Chains A and B, each alone.
Chain A
Amino acid sequence: MRNYEIMFIVSPNAVEEDIDKINGQIEGVITAGGGKAEKVEKLGKRRLAYLVNKFREGSYVLFTIQADGAIVREVERRLRVMDLVIKYLTVRMDDDMKRLDKIKAHRQKRAARRGRAHAEGAERRGPSPVEQMPEE
């Protein structure tokens, strides 16, 4: 099982119900294959950065899923067939997440070490040398 994000653009002519229907279908495909749709987000209508099928804008939908490659292949096939879906993109997220977790753990470890060193150093050093200097 891997984490993926599938983002697709529905044509601006589609009404809200059409989008819901597509989402339902896709979710069905995912759960039927043994995957899990963790999050389904409708990002709303947005202007496209360039013309896609002669459309200037489109409704974005984002799926965050846990699935195998076979499911992703099937979902992509379905999206390709649907006339209302004008573009889609699948991104594998687990490598990215692993990298982020590693950085986060590293940061925490360093912060903890620095905190400890600071406390110890203050004890060992005793009164700071500046204070011991004779006044002129």
Chain B
Amino acid sequence: MAIQKQYYRRKKVCKFCVERIDNINYKDVKLLSQFVPERSKIMPRRISGVCTPHQRLLSDAIKKARNIALLPFATE
């Protein structure tokens, strides 16, 4: 018999799919900063639950924002 999972883990959903955000823009610091934790690394999909196509757009946008000093590369 399989061991029953003790905790019920909520299925993560992609924020961009659910809220129908198509436009992941590098200027939208408020949106992007939700996906960069304190160390200013890009949050992995396995933690944020973002789907692959959206994660790709998101990481592109974050990298652009870093380039123009809207987001940090690393926290000093």
Contact = CB atoms under 8 A, between A and B. Distances in A.
Interface residues of A, number: 19
B35 interface: no
**Is the interface on chain B under 10, 10 to 19, 20 to 34, or 35 or more residues?**
10 to 19
A9 B22 contact: no
Q: Is the interface of B mostly helix, strand, loop or mixed?
A: loop
Contact of B68 (A9, A96, A100): A9
Interface string B38-72: 00000000000000000000000000101111111
Interface in B1-46: 22-23, 26-27
Interface of B: 22-23, 26-27, 64, 66-73, 76
Interface of A: 7, 9, 46, 48-50, 52, 58, 60, 62, 87-89, 91, 96, 99-100, 103-104
